[in-house]
């Protein structure tokens, strides 16, 4: 009987070990489950956010918003650059206008001076023609020689048109926004060209004028200023054609004066017009 009782009360060792193993096995899944919950929730949140980001409606609005912002940035940059260029062009226009005004002032002063000099030459040539047509010219050429020598040459007028030529050659005439002013500047330039054409003809005729050197005996005239000196033998033969050529040249000189007067008048008009249109000081 005692053996049976002992057998019933004794707990086998392998049974304890199995129970211990079961306890460990039960606890292990619980710990693993606790650690996996936050990771799973994070993954679920990332998937949900990614799903929202790629949602059809929100994706379209997102790209549309980005496009609009990009367009506005580019447009604002374009407007700012265009505004800056306009400011620079307006500044350049003012500089050109002030420069043209100074050039025209210089032209009016110089043309006035040249007109007076050319008129003096013109009157001198009239006096030479009268002397050449005198009855005693063949035996006494002193007066004609003196008058002709004093009236030789041709006074030069050269426009200070540096600014106008710069505007034309560089294509910057477009900077003059006032079309009426721009047209007036070009008309003045055309008037100058007509004057230059007549001036070139006069210089060519002056170079070809050989009658002066053939009419007079220069050596005797320079040595005997107060003693009558007759025309040269060749001069007596050339007197009539010399008179005709000199008369023709003097008419050309009268035309040249008229063109220079036109240049002067146009310059004065242009100066007043520019000062009025751009509200400049007239001093």
Q: What is the DSSP string of 190-228?
A: HHHHHHHHHHHHHHHHHHT--HHHHH--HHHHHH-TTS-
Predicted pLDDT at 209: 73
What is d(CA 169, CA 164) in angstroms, rounded to the nearest whole number? Answer: 9
pLDDT tens for 116-157 read 999 999 999 999 999 999 999 999 999 999 999 999 888 989
Any idea of the CA torsion for 74, 78, 80, 83, to the nearest 10 degrees? Answer: -170
DSSP 8-state secondary structure symbol assigned to residue 72: H
Q: Give the whole-angstrom CA distance, residue 218 versus residue 281.
A: 56
**pLDDT for the residue numbered 1:** 39
Q: How far apart (Å, rounded) are the C-alpha atoms in residues 274 and 21?
A: 111
pLDDT of residue 28: 46
Domain ranges of the chain: 93-277
List pLDDT tens digits, range 21-76. 444 444 444 444 444 445 555 555 554 445 544 545 557 777 776 777 777 777 66
Provide the pLDDT for residue 33.
45
Q: Classify each residue of 223-251 as buried b or exposed e, where b means 16 or more C-beta atoms within 10 Å of its C-beta.
A: eeeeeebbbbeebeebbeebbebbeebbe
Alpha-carbon gap, residue 266 to 187, rounded angstroms: 8
Q: What is the pLDDT of residue 3?
A: 43
In angstroms, rounded to a whole number, what is the distance separating the alpha carbons of residues 64 and 263?
64
Predicted local confidence at residue 177, as pLDDT: 86
Percent of the chain with pLDDT over 70: 72
């Amino acid at each position: 009987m005692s053996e049976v009782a002992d057998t019933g009360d004794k707990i086998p060792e392998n049974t304890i070990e199995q129970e211990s193993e079961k306890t460990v096995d039960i606890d292990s899944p619980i710990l693993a489950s606790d650690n996996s919950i936050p990771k799973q929730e994070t993954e679920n949140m990332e998937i949900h956010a990614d799903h929202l980001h790629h949602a059809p409606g929100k994706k379209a609005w997102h790209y549309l918003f980005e496009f609009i912002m990009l367009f506005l940035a580019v447009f604002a940059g374009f407007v700012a650059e265009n505004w800056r260029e306009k400011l620079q062009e307006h500044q350049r226009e003012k500089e050109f206008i002030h420069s043209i005004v100074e050039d025209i002032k210089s032209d009016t002063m110089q043309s006035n001076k040249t007109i007076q000099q050319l008129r003096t030459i013109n009157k001198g040539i009239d006096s030479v023609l009268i002397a050449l047509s005198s009855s005693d010219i063949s035996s006494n050429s002193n007066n004609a020689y003196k008058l002709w020598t004093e009236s030789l040459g041709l006074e030069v007028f050269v426009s200070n048109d540096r600014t106008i030529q710069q505007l034309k050659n560089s294509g910057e005439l477009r900077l003059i926004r006032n079309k009426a002013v721009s047209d007036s500047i070009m008309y003045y330039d055309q008037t100058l060209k007509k004057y230059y054409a007549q001036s070139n003809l006069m210089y060519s005729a002056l170079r070809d004028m050989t009658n002066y050197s053939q009419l007079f005996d220069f050596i005797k005239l320079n040595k005997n200023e107060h003693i009558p000196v007759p025309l040269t033998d060749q001069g007596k033969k050339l007197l009539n054609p010399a008179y005709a050529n000199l008369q023709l040249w003097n008419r050309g000189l009268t035309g040249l004066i008229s063109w220079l007067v036109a240049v002067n008048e146009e310059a004065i008009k242009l100066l007043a017009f520019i000062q009025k249109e751009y509200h400049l000081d007239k001093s």
